[in-house]
Structure formats: structure tokens, C-alpha cells
């Protein structure tokens, strides 16, 4: 969440940034925020003045009684009662003004970094680099949704019967491939200095708000009404919220966590090739990396995370490209995002398999996540996360790119984890 201080002191920069994110009424929105803030500060001053006067009158009552001025003391008591009632009224008005201000601030997206390209949609994203050779497959090459049937490794039909569309069963070598990816990704992250955590897959409203899923993605998350809990769309939510409402010391930084969870998203589509097979699911597995850094370190950390995810794709022998998202294609909470896309030769298309993002202080402001500096002041931290990696489209590309007449070849880096070198 943007702080009111940011909006007061950097209004012009915030307006330009929000316009880059295609917020058409950015200036009017910020003017409304500043109006609410001015109203809140006016009520705060009135409240403080009444409290000060109430304290002065209360002290005078005893003095009047001691000097025998009972009539004046009774008048002072009546005045103190009125002031107390006025303070209560103003206190309620102040809480309501604060609620309105916070509610309005929660609807404003993060400001993009100055390097974020202009643009309205994915067509305007900037390709930063591309690596790996695009496989040349024979004429009869199959997309993964046909390969999984041919080798009987993933079952969408049974998943649809048991749960619904977008909830597949993984079977035999398909299940072992999932487990292999899980252990491979976790082991690599731990080797890179991340501490592994196994978080819950249900979070409360405060956690969903803290990382920006609420109110922006309310309709995209599964919600358990009876328990007032949300099923997580990504491990980012519980892992980052481990540090909600905390003030960290500098010697606790940087924080680097990795965690595996299943992820659940209601947004999965049902039409066209873009959502066929593993391209988009309601439930999928993902390993997530999260960093919490001092502000001056966060963009160096973002590049470090990007290089790390690239190293995973290279180990899996997948051709990939790095894409910097334009303003109109960025998430609500992100200041800068790189997408990693792999080429799936059976479909002849690029598939997004990871997003690595710097949220700067946006999530930290929502979570009140701060650190104590050397001079004992408290400042907001910066939060970052990235998919490292999401399984479904990785599996789709592995199956399509490595199909041979004998079966589907397993990359060498995964073979110690699968226990086999081919699916046939």
C-alpha cells in the first residue's frame, strides 16, 4: 500500500506511475486521498485540543475544591463532562476518517519502477533476453495434452469426475516427475542460500490483505465461509506474512525463504488452446522464493532472483526468454516484474512459468513490516518473490520438447530425482 506520506510528498511521481499502469483517474484519486487526509488531520487536531482542554479543566477541579470555590468547581465538573462527551464524539469521527482513508489507500495500486516500459497489454512487454535452442520436432509431434494420454501419466477425466475441471490426477511416472521437480527445485534453492519453510495453505483475511490479494483478487481466491479463511493462490502469501507486524533488526536481514505448496486459483479459463491441458489449472504445485531486503538492496536482489530462476531453466534444458512487463500488464502490487517464458515445441508457443517481482515497500506498508536502522529509526522494508518454479507449464514444455520415437526423454539434471531417464 502506498503511504500517505508518499502521496503527500511525491504526488506528481505517483500520478505518472499510476497512469503508466493505466489508471485513468489517477490525479482525481490522489486528490480524494489528500482530501480525506486533510479531513482526518483536522479532526485529529480538534480531538487533541479537546483532550488538552479536558485535562486542564480536570486539574482545576481539585484546586477549586481546595480553595473552597465549590460553585466554580461544580461548573468545572459540568464542563469536564461536556468535554469528555465531545472527545468521545471526535474520537469516533477520527476512527471513521482513518477507516475511510485506509480503505481508499487500499484501492490504489503500486507505482511502477521508472524502468518499466510503457504499454497497455502483453504485446507491449519488453523481451530482455532469450537463451536456448528452439527444438525442431518431427511433423507428427504432439502437444502435451495428447502425450499425457498416450503415456497415461496425467488424468484430467478422473479429476473432473472427482472434483471438477482444472484438477487433474498425476499417475505413475507423471506423479514421480512432479515429485522430482519438487525436490529438485527445493534442493537448488537451499543450495542458493534460501531457508526452506513449509507454510499452511489457508490464510486469514489480514494475511490476504497484507500481500495485496485483497481487495484486488478477492473473486479469484477460494474462500471458506465458515472459518473465514482463504485458500492460497501462491506460497508468497503465508511466507511473506510470517513477518507481518514485526520490527526486525538489521542483523536479521536479508531474509530468504523457499517453500513448496499446492496453489489454488478460481481464475482458470475454460476456452481455447491457451487453457488446454496443463496450460491453466485451478490447482497446481509451485515452489516459491521470497526475499525481504533493505530498500537500497532490493533491485540488486531482484536481479539475483532473476538469474537464479534462469539457472533452473538452463538446468532443465528448456529454451526460455526473459520479459519485462509493461505498466499495463503488471500486477496490482508490483513495482517491477520479470516473467520467464519457456518455448513449448508441441504447441509452438511461449508459456509463462515464473514471475519475479519487487514490490518495494508496498506489501510492507500493508503488513507493517519494518526494520530498525543503526540510528534506531524504523523504516519499511522491501519484499520480493518469484516462482521457482510453477510445475504445470514446465511439465508441458518438458513433455513436448523431449518427445522422441522411443518416448519422452528426461533432462539429466532431473534423472537422479526421477530414477528413470525416459517416459515410455
- Quote the CA–CA distance of 212 and 207 in Å, as a whole number: 9
> Which cell is 234 given?
501462491
Indicate if the alpha-carbon torsion angle 411, 414, 416, 417 is positive or negative: negative
Main-chain phi, psi angles of 23, to 5 degrees: -90, 100
Find the catalytic residue in 54, 188, 207, 280.
280
Catalytic-labelled residue, pool 306, 341, 393, 400: 393
* Exposed / middle / buried, residue 202 (Cβ in 10 Å: 0-12, 13-18, 19+): middle
Find the Cα–Cα–Cα–Cα dihedral 124, 125, 126, 132, rounded to 10°: -120
CA separation for the pair 201, 257 (Å, rounded): 16
Q: Is the dihedral of CA 89, 91, 92, 97 positive or negative?
A: positive
Nearest alpha-carbon partner for 204 in 231, 181, 178, 236: 231
Active site annotation includes 41: no
Binding-site residues for ATP, please?
Answer: 265-267, 352-355
Q: Of the candidates 308, 326, 199, 193, which has an alpha carbon nearest to the alpha carbon of residue 261? A: 199
Q: Is 393 a catalytic residue?
A: yes
* Catalytic residue flag (residue 280): yes
Q: Which of 334, 355, 357, 387 is catalytic?
A: 355
Given the residues 40, 265, 366, 370, select the one marked as catalytic.
265
Distance separating alpha carbons of residues 160 and 151, to the nearest angstrom: 19
- Residue 68, C-alpha cell as written in the block: 473552597
**Plot region of 249 (φ>0 → left; ψ -120 to 50 → alpha; else → beta):** beta
- 355 is annotated as an active-site residue: yes
| Residues annotated in a binding site for L-serine | 234, 265, 288, 385
At 408, list the grid cell: 519422452
Instruction: Choose, from 126, 352, 379, 409, the residue flagged as catalytic.
Output: 352
Please say if 225 is a catalytic residue.
no
Q: Which parts of 132-282 are beta strand (E)?
A: 154-155, 169-170, 195-197, 202-203, 223-224, 229-231, 247-249, 255-264
Question: What's the gap between Cα 4 and its chain centre?
Answer: 21
Residue 81's contacts (CB-CB under 8 Å, 6 or more residues apart) are none
Residues of the binding site: 234, 265-267, 288, 352-355, 385
CA atoms within 13 A on the CB side of 285: 17
* Strands (E) located in 336-424: 336-344, 349-358, 370-372, 378-380, 382-390, 403-404, 407-409, 422-423
Residues acting as catalytic residues: 265, 280, 352, 355, 393
Amino acid at each position: 500500500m502506498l503511504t500517505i506520506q508518499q502521496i503527500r510528498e511525491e504526488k506528481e511521481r505517483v500520478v505518472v506511475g499510476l497512469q503508466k499502469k493505466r489508471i485513468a483517474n489517477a490525479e482525481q484519486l490522489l486528490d480524494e486521498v489528500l482530501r480525506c487526509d486533510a479531513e482526518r488531520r483536522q479532526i485529529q487536531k480538534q480531538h487533541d485540543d479537546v483532550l488538552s482542554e479536558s485535562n486542564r479543566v480536570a486539574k482545576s477541579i481539585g484546586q477549586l475544591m481546595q480553595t473552597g470555590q465549590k460553585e466554580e468547581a461544580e461548573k468545572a465538573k459540568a464542563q469536564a463532562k461536556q468535554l469528555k462527551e465531545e472527545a468521545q464524539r471526535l474520537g469516533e469521527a477520527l476512527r471513521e476518517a482513518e477507516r475511510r482513508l485506509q480503505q481508499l489507500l487500499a484501492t490504489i495500486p503500486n507505482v511502477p519502477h521508472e524502468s518499466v516500459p510503457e504499454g497497455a497489454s502483453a504485446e507491449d512487454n519488453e523481451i530482455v533476453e532469450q537463451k536456448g535452442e528452439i527444438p525442431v520436432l518431427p511433423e507428427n509431434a504432439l502437444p502435451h495434452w495428447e502425450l499425457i494420454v498416450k503415456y497415461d501419466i496425467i488424468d484430467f477425466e478422473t479429476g473432473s469426475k472427482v472434483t471438477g475441471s482444472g484438477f487433474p490426477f498425476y499417475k505413475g511416472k507423471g506423479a514421480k516427475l512432479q515429485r522430482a521437480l519438487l525436490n529438485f527445485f527445493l534442493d537448488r534453492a537451499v543450495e542458493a542460500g534460501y531457508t526452506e519453510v513449509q507454510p499452511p495453505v489457508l490464510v486469514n483475511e489480514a494475511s490476504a490483505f497484507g500481500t495485496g490479494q485483497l481487495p484486488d483478487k478477492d473473486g479469484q481466491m477460494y474462500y471458506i465461509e465458515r472459518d473465514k479463511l482463504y485458500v492460497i493462490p501462491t506460497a508468497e502469501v503465508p511466507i511473506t506474512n510470517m513477518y507481518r507486524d514485526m520490527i526486525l533488526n538489521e542483523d536479521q536481514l536479508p531474509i530468504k525463504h523457499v517453500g513448496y505448496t499446492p496453489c489454488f486459483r478460481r481464475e482458470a479459463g475454460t476456452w481455447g488452446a491457451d487453457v488446454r491441458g496443463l496450460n491453466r489449472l485451478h490447482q497446481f504445485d509451485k515452489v516459491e522464493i521470497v526475499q525481504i531486503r533493505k530498500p537500497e538492496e532490493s533491485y540488486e536482489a531482484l536481479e539475483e532472483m532473476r538469474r537464479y530462476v534462469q539457472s533452473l531453466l538452463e538446468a532443465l534444458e528448456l529454451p526460455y526468454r526473459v520479459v519485462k512487463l509493461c505498466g499495463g500488464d503488471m500486477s496490482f502490487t508490483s513495482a517491477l516484474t520479470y516473467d520467464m517464458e519457456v518455448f513449448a515445441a508441441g504447441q509452438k508457443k511461449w508459456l509463462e512459468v515464473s514471475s519475479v517481482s519487487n514490490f518495494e515497500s508496498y506489501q510492507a506498508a500493508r503488513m507493517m513490516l519494518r526494520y530498525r536502522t543503526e540510528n534506531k529509526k524504523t523504516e519499511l522494508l522491501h519484499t520480493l518473490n518469484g516462482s521457482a518454479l510453477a510445475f504445470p507449464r514446465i511439465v508441458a514444455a518438458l513433455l513436448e520438447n523431449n518427445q522422441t520415437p522411443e518416448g519422452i526423454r528426461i533432462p539429466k539434471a532431473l534423472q537422479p530425482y526421477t530414477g528413470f531417464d525416459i517416459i515410455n
